[in-house]
Structure 1
Amino acid sequence: MEDKRILYVSSEVVPYLAENEVSSMSYEVPKMINNLGGQIRIFMPRYGNINERRHQLHEVIRLSGMNLVVNDLDMPLIIKVASIPKERIQVYFIDNDEYFKRKATFTDEEGVLYPDNDERAIFFAKGVVETVKKLNWVPDIIHVHGWMAALLPIYMKHFYKNEALFSETKIV
């Protein structure tokens, strides 16, 4: 695992969201990779129920400022970053007020899925790829975890198939 570059893309990560199977695994696997000498970057959506002050999120101006098109609408991409305490692992948050400002992750107060979850997933997938391109950080492996991240492999195979940066990248 040493010196491998792993991009871990997840819909939920502990300690930023409540502990469940997805969020726990999305913490434990990157921690293990980091401990084995791999280079790890985690990406997740910046949902409105994530406390920015407590988790010390801050905007990365050099990565923010581009717009992504979803359903013919230009939507501003905001990138925030934080470090998982004691682990020295950076977490990049894909943010947009229209899609992620709500105080819940996937459903409203009655437990009904948000009707634009598909658009949110598209924005998240595009945001991850465009941010990694801007970082010029070439991952050896992209590990996708959780349904909000599930569109990423499709985007990589169809819309970014000729992107030289990802020509040797494998997707799990």
Structure 2
Amino acid sequence: MKDKRILYVSSEVIPYLPETELSSTAFNVAKHAHSKGVQTRIFMPRFGVINERRHQLHEVIRLSGMNLIINDMDMPLIIKVASIPKERMQVYFIDNDEYFKRKAVYTDEDDKLFDDNDERMIFFAKGVVETVKKLNWAPDIIHVHGWMASLLPLYLREFYKEEPLFAESKIVTSLYNSGFEGELNSELANKVRFDKIEEERTTVFETPNHTNILKSAIENSDAIIKGSETLSDEIEAYIAEKDVKVLDFPSEEVLTESHLEFYKENVLELSE
């Protein structure tokens, strides 16, 4: 695995957001890979609750400055970066004042999902890809964590399918049971179709709940990792239907090493 390139894309990463199964797994797996000589990049949204001064985020002017089209609207992309102390690992933050400046992550003060979470997901997926293109950094593996990042596999497979930088990249998605209740904006399917993504790939979003968002990620991934010990029966059944490599939930003692072994034995071999 030494000198392989792995792009980690996560909704949450410690120490920038509170410790959860998702945020700690995303960090620890990337940290372990990095310690073994793997070239890593971590991307996450720059949520407004992240303390920029404490974590020493700074804007990367050469990467910022482009606009992303989200449902026919021009939305400026701002890229910030920080280094995880002691690890010499870089974390890139996808930012936009309208989508991420608010002092909350997914819900408002009444615990109601933000109405634009669907657009935030699209912006995050496109922002990651456009930034990696500017870095000209072709990843061997793209590992996705968390529902806010879960449109990325679909966008890589469809919207960016002609992009040579990702022609050899394998997509791995970790699934967690930390989702959300209810549904996202009912226009999600139409907003994805705006990007000329075929209707049959977007029908799953007609009911934009947590389960269906994960189904899209599974459908468009080369491999799946069970990031939580228990997943819903519906998701378990869906995984079983698919011709996809699967790593069952690893215990904490073998968590990081099992990911590296899975990459090596099951994911990279798909290229051969």
Fold in common (TM above 0.5) = yes
**Map of 2:182 onto structure 1:** none
**2:165 is aligned with 1:165:** yes
Matched residue pairs, number?
172
**2:116 is aligned with 1:116:** yes
- Determine helix, strand or coil for the equivalent of 2:144: strand
RMSD: 0.5
Counterpart CA distance in 1 for 2:108 and 2:93 is: 21
Counterpart CA distance in 2 for 1:154 and 1:118 is: 14
Counterpart CA distance in 2 for 1:66 and 1:117 is: 21
**2:68 is aligned with 1:68:** yes
Offset of residue 4 of structure 1: 0.7
> Which residue identity lines up with residue 6 of structure 1 in the other structure?
I
Q: TM-score, normalised by structure 1?
A: 0.99
Counterpart CA distance in 1 for 2:47 and 2:166 is: 27
> Which residue identity lines up with residue 9 of structure 1 in the other structure?
V
Counterpart CA distance in 2 for 1:24 and 1:44 is: 13
- Determine helix, strand or coil for the equivalent of 2:93: strand
For 1:26-65, list aligned pairs within 5 A.
Answer: 26-65=26-65
Q: TM-score, normalised by structure 2?
A: 0.63
| Higher-helix-fraction structure | 2
- Determine helix, strand or coil for the equivalent of 1:33: helix
Offset of residue 26 of structure 1: 1.2
Offset of residue 44 of structure 1: 0.2
Offset of residue 23 of structure 1: 0.5
Counterpart CA distance in 1 for 2:70 and 2:36 is: 38
Counterpart CA distance in 1 for 2:110 and 2:72 is: 30
Runs of 4+ in 1 over 3 A off after TM superposition: none
Return the index of the structure with the highest Cα Rg: 2
- Structure 2 gap ranges (5+): 173-272
> Which residue identity lines up with residue 87 of structure 2 in the other structure?
E
**Map of 2:94 onto structure 1:** 94
Offset of residue 90 of structure 1: 0.2
Counterpart CA distance in 2 for 1:40 and 1:165 is: 16
**Map of 2:268 onto structure 1:** none
> Which residue identity lines up with residue 130 of structure 2 in the other structure?
E
- Determine helix, strand or coil for the equivalent of 1:47: coil
Offset of residue 45 of structure 1: 0.2
Counterpart CA distance in 2 for 1:167 and 1:92 is: 22
- Determine helix, strand or coil for the equivalent of 2:6: strand
Offset of residue 71 of structure 1: 1.3
Identity of aligned residues (%): 76
Higher relative contact order (CA 8 A, sep 6+): 1
- Determine helix, strand or coil for the equivalent of 2:115: coil
